[in-house]
């Protein structure tokens, strides 16, 4: 693999990287508003994005470099089980069609920047809002780290990652440079930078996928041969478990796992702070609904991309680290210059979500920890300043994570993050539709879900790992193997409902709800929902 | 002027929450869940399409089906919202 540097590919990669760097810095001037020093400007792009910008931004945000590397890698390793990403992304859109417009409306009306802002406003509970904020930050950090893992995979295959014997500094220098640049333009341009760069990223990705899905099967002799080769590989017996290493089609035992993973992941996706940040930056309620009808184009692309995992098998790609399967396939199959384009697509595909995620985490910290607990009278300028600094800190943290620890640690935490973030759903989505839940019950439900999910995930062993070996475990009471996150979520909801009944009977004090029913359906142009950002006063 | 504007706020024109159109919208949104979570209905290799096992092309086909369904839901919902707004405007709410 590290048989020298691929010069042409590296040249093309560097060219695209420089181009998006320039764009990132220029983005600060794009659609510049007067009120430049507010969090709405830096952290939400002035809440001004239309259908297409939002489409690119959300696509760039949700379908990350890690997705592009990990989904085909899972297929490459185990076959059918990795394909759950497709039903997962199918289910996301009908789901968000129902609740995101409500969140957009109430956030616009009250100037909410984060989901925790909404939870605090709805339930009048700083504690619950803090729980949601901390969960969001914890879940986002390893996600950012994984974007770095994506860049690293590409750099490794290009031969600039260095071998085992190179000095760590030389080895990690390309990654450090990439991240330094990312941090600098996120700091100066805020959400506008990833929004603009997302255009380049998605265009490159679409080109690469279309070419790959046509060109590679032709070279490999068609899908018949590809799946034949895959079938042969998966029928082999795994020496550690005594079972086949994978399957082309999930067996009876695998269907529960497949379905619960798809559903649980779909529910969790829009609980992630970065998804919400991209959503709230859109101009109107309608932009979101319209986007649910055009975003599935990315799901189709993801499905095609997943098939690349099979192609890697048929092409005889042999890698120790499954993450390298797809970059290696590209290098083996494509002419050098196009390999460079493909690697640029993955590399830039890591920068966009990493930028949005760090902004989202920073917004959470600023609004729901700094302002709520440390400095309640912070001005919008101060908020923006803190947010910018925290976005830097978050990225440095992710970098330390990736460089200082084993890669599996980041992956384990990402897995936990998915389980954790799902536990904020009752407060957020429940709160969007009803005020029936009691704030303390929601907090207790969240705690139970978090604790169960963490302990259960810790207990999962795999042939290579003693803990965090996977995200599925036996569902208590049903006996089938299912996604831990979803089991924890069900527990969470049960605890919340039972405690709400109890607390209501005891007449425990309810928090003050600052929203009113009409807020949830308000649209841009309605009374009190100006197209311009609302004034975010100290009263919030 | 401000007083006249205050009138529409609140449940002045009570419109039903469940309407036939909304039921259709809900069905369009629920269908992908039924299809995708019923894994055993598509966990098989045949019939293959240009060499791709059924399991894979069927799910990719559902990307297109669910997109079409969401579009239908969106169009129906938009139309109903517009009709409601118009009805509210006629009630003297807003010009």
Most confident of A153-167, A184-198, A349-363: A349-363
Q: Could you give the domains of chain A? A: 7-406 (1.20.1730.10)
Rounded distance, CA A211 to CA A369, Å?
46
- What tens digit of pLDDT does each residue of A344-367 get? 988 888 888 888 899 999 999 998
Cβ-based contacts of A252 with chain B (< 8 Å): 40
Query: What residue of B is the nearest CA neighbor of A83?
Result: B56
DSSP string, A36-66: TTSHHHHHHGGG-B-HHHHHHHHHHHHS-HH
Mean pLDDT score, A448-470? 83
- What tens digit of pLDDT does each residue of A216-238 get? 988 888 888 888 888 888 887 76
Higher pLDDT, B35 or A480: B35
Query: What residue of B is the nearest CA neighbor of A93?
Result: B70
Mean model confidence pLDDT for chain A = 84
How high is the pLDDT of residue A383? 87
With CB atoms and an 8 Å threshold, state whether B51 touches A258: no
Chain centroid, CA A418 distance in Å: 9
Q: Picking from A32-36, A344-348, A386-390, A423-427, which range would have the lowest pLDDT averaged per residue? A: A32-36
Residue A33 half-sphere exposure, CB side, CA atoms within 13 Å? 21
- On whether any CB of chain A is under 8 Å from the CB of B23, the answer is no
Q: Picking from A82-91, A185-194, A402-411, A515-524, which range would have the lowest pLDDT averaged per residue? A: A402-411
With CB atoms and an 8 Å threshold, state whether A258 touches B29: no
Cβ-based contacts of A93 with chain B (< 8 Å): 66-67, 70
Cβ-based contacts of A224 with chain B (< 8 Å): 51
> DSSP secondary-structure letter at A368?
I
Mutation target to probe the B interface, by most B beta carbons within 10 A, among A79, A81, A85, A93 is A93
With CB atoms and an 8 Å threshold, state whether A224 touches B51: yes
Q: How many CB atoms lie within 10 A of CB A10?
A: 19
CB-closest option in A91, A249, A256 to B44: A249
- Of A245, A255, A236, A223, the closest CA to residue B44 belongs to A255
With CB atoms and an 8 Å threshold, state whether B36 touches A527: no
- What tens digit of pLDDT does each residue of B14-70 get? 667 788 888 999 999 999 999 999 988 888 888 888 888 899 999 999 999 999 999
Residues in Cβ contact with A40 at an 8 Å cutoff, skipping those fewer than 6 apart: A46, A47, A111, A113, A533, A536
List residues of A whose CB lies inside 8 A of any B CB. Answer: 80, 83, 86-87, 89-91, 93-94, 97-98, 222-227, 248-252, 254-256, 258-259, 262-263, 286, 289-290, 292-293, 296-297, 299-300, 303-304, 307, 518, 527
pLDDT at A101 over 80: yes
Helix runs in A63-125, H state only: 65-78, 85-110, 115-123
Mean pLDDT score, A64-77? 83
Q: How many CB atoms lie within 10 A of CB A389?
A: 14
- On whether any CB of chain A is under 8 Å from the CB of B44, the answer is yes
Rounded distance, CA A436 to CA A465, Å?
43
With CB atoms and an 8 Å threshold, state whether B29 touches A98: yes
- What tens digit of pLDDT does each residue of A297-354 get? 888 888 988 888 889 988 888 887 778 888 889 888 899 899 989 889 888 888 888 8
Rounded distance, CA B24 to CA B62, Å?
19
Phi–psi pair at B48, nearest 5 degrees = -85, 155
How high is the pLDDT of residue A537? 38
With CB atoms and an 8 Å threshold, state whether B43 touches A86: no
How high is the pLDDT of residue A66? 77
How high is the pLDDT of residue A200? 86
pLDDT at A239 over 70: no
Task: Name the residue ranges covered by the structural domains of chain B.
Answer: 2-90
Rounded distance, CA A371 to CA A112, Å?
13
Locus of tokens 């579009």: B71
With CB atoms and an 8 Å threshold, state whether B71 touches A293: yes
Return the structure tokens found at A89.
């992304």
How high is the pLDDT of residue B90? 74
Query: What residue of A is the nearest CA neighbor of B57?
Result: A303
How high is the pLDDT of residue A493? 95
pLDDT at A92 over 50: yes
For residue A253, give how far its alpha carbon lies from the nearest alpha carbon of chain B (Å): 10
Q: C-alpha angle with apex A384: A380 to A390, nearest 5 degrees?
A: 140
Q: How many CB atoms lie within 10 A of CB A243?
A: 10
Chain centroid, CA A193 distance in Å: 18
- What tens digit of pLDDT does each residue of A275-288 get? 888 888 888 888 88
How high is the pLDDT of residue A320? 76
Outline where DSSP puts E strands in A380-529. 472-474, 481-483
The H-or-E segment that residue A305 falls in is helix A296-314
Mean pLDDT score, A57-71? 82
Return the structure tokens found at A339.
């390999």
How high is the pLDDT of residue A487? 93
Interface pTM (ipTM) of the complex?
0.83
**Both ends of chain B: CA-CA distance in Å?**
12
Cβ-based contacts of A296 with chain B (< 8 Å): 63-64, 66-67, 70
- On whether any CB of chain A is under 8 Å from the CB of B67, the answer is yes
How high is the pLDDT of residue A499? 94
Mutation target to probe the B interface, by most B beta carbons within 10 A, among A85, A96, A223 is A223
With CB atoms and an 8 Å threshold, state whether A292 touches B74: yes
- Inter-chain Cβ pairs, chain A and chain B, closer than 8 A: 112
CB-closest option in A98, A249, A252 to B55: A249
pLDDT-based confidence at residue A378 (cuts at 50, 70, 90): confident
With CB atoms and an 8 Å threshold, state whether A86 touches B51: no
- On whether any CB of chain A is under 8 Å from the CB of B51, the answer is yes
For residue B79, give how far its alpha carbon lies from the nearest alpha carbon of chain A (Å): 12
Burial class (CB in 10 A: 0-12, 13-18, 19+), A417: buried
Phi–psi pair at A462, nearest 5 degrees = -130, 170
For residue A46, give how far its alpha carbon lies from the nearest alpha carbon of chain B (Å): 26
pLDDT-based confidence at residue A154 (cuts at 50, 70, 90): confident
Locus of tokens 């969401």: B70
pLDDT at A130 over 90: yes
With CB atoms and an 8 Å threshold, state whether A300 touches B70: no
Most confident of A448-462, B9-23, B79-93: A448-462
In this structure, are residues A343 and A361 in contact, taking their beta carbons and an 8 Å threshold?
Answer: no
How high is the pLDDT of residue B12? 47
For residue B59, give how far its alpha carbon lies from the nearest alpha carbon of chain A (Å): 7
Mean pLDDT score, B70-87? 86
pLDDT-based confidence at residue A32 (cuts at 50, 70, 90): low
Q: What angle do helix axes A325-333 and A65-78 make, rounded to 10 degrees? A: 90
How high is the pLDDT of residue A192? 84
- Of A530, A428, A108, the closest CA to residue A437 belongs to A428
CB-closest option in B10, B53, B60 to A86: B60
With CB atoms and an 8 Å threshold, state whether A304 touches B70: no
Residues in Cβ contact with A496 at an 8 Å cutoff, skipping those fewer than 6 apart: A426, A430, A437, A441, A442, A444, A445
With CB atoms and an 8 Å threshold, state whether B43 touches A251: yes
How high is the pLDDT of residue A163? 56
How high is the pLDDT of residue A38? 77
């Amino acid at each position: 693999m590290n048989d020298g540097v691929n010069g042409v590919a590296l040249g093309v990669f560097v060219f695209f990287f420089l181009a998006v760097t320039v764009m990132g810095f220029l983005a600060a001037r794009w659609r510049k508003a007067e009120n430049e020093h507010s969090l709405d400007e830096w952290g939400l792009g002035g809440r001004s994005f239309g259908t297409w910008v939002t489409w690119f931004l959300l696509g760039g945000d949700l379908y990350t470099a890690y997705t592009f590397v990990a989904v085909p890698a899972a297929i490459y390793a185990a076959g059918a089980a990795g394909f759950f990403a497709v039903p997962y992304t199918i289910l996301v859109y009908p789901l968000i069609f129902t609740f995101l417009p409500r969140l957009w409306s109430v956030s616009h009306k009250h100037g909410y920047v984060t989901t925790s802002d909404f939870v605090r406003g709805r339930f009048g509970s700083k504690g619950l809002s803090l729980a949601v904020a901390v969960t969001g930050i914890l879940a986002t950090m390893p996600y950012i780290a994984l974007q770095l893992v994506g860049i690293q995979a590409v750099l490794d295959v290009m031969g600039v990652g260095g071998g085992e014997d190179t000095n760590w500094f030389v080895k990690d220098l390309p990654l450090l440079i990439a991240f330094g640049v990312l941090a600098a333009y996120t700091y100066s341009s805020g959400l506008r930078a990833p929004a603009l760069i997302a255009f380049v990223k998605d265009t490159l990705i679409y080109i690469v996928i279309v070419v790959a899905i046509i060109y590679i099967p032709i070279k490999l002799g068609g899908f018949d041969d590809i799946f034949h080769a895959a079938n042969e590989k998966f029928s082999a017996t795994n020496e550690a478990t005594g079972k086949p290493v994978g399957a082309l089609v999930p067996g009876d035992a695998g269907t529960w796992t497949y379905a619960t993973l798809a559903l649980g992941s779909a529910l969790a996706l829009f609980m992630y702070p970065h998804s919400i940040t991209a959503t709230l930056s859109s101009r109107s309620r309608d932009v979101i609904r319209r986007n649910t009808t055009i975003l599935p184009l990315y799901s189709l692309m993801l499905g095609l991309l997943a098939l690349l995992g099979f192609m890697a098998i048929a092409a005889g790609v042999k890698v120790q680290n499954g993450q390298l399967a797809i970059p290696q396939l590209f290098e083996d199959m494509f002419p050098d210059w196009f390999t460079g384009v493909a690697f640029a697509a993955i590399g830039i595909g890591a920068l966009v979500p990493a930028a949005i995620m760090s902004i989202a985490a920073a917004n959470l910290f600023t609004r729901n920890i700094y302002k709520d607990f440390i400095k309640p009278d912070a001005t919008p300028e101060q908020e923006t300043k803190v947010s910018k600094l925290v976005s830097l800190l978050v990225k440095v943290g992710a970098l330390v994570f990736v460089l200082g620890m084993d890669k599996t640690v980041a992956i384990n935490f990402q897995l936990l993050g998915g389980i954790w973030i799902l536990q904020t759903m009752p407060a957020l989505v429940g709160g969007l539709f009803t005020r029936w839940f009691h704030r303390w019950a929601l907090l207790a439900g969240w705690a139970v879900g978090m604790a169960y999910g963490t302990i259960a995930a810790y207990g999962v062993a795999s042939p290579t790992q003693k803990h965090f070996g996977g995200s599925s475990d036996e569902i208590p009471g049903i006996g089938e193997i299912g996604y831990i996150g979803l089991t924890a979520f069900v527990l969470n909801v049960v605890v919340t409902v039972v405690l709400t009944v109890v607390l209501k009977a005891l007449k425990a004090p309810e928090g003050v709800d600052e929203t009113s029913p009409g807020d949830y359906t308000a649209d841009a142009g309605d009374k009190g929902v100006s197209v311009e950002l609302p004034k975010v006063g100290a009263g919030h | 002027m401000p007083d006249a504007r205050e009138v529409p706020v609140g449940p002045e024109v009570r419109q039903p929450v469940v309407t036939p159109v909304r039921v259709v919208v809900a069905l369009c949104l629920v269908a992908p869940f039924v299809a995708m979570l019923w894994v055993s209905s598509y966990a098989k290799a045949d019939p293959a399409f240009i060499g791709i096992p059924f399991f894979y092309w069927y799910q990719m086909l559902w990307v297109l089906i669910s997109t079409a369904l969401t579009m239908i839901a969106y169009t129906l919902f938009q139309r109903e919202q517009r009709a409601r707004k118009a009805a509210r405007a006629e009630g003297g709410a807003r010009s």
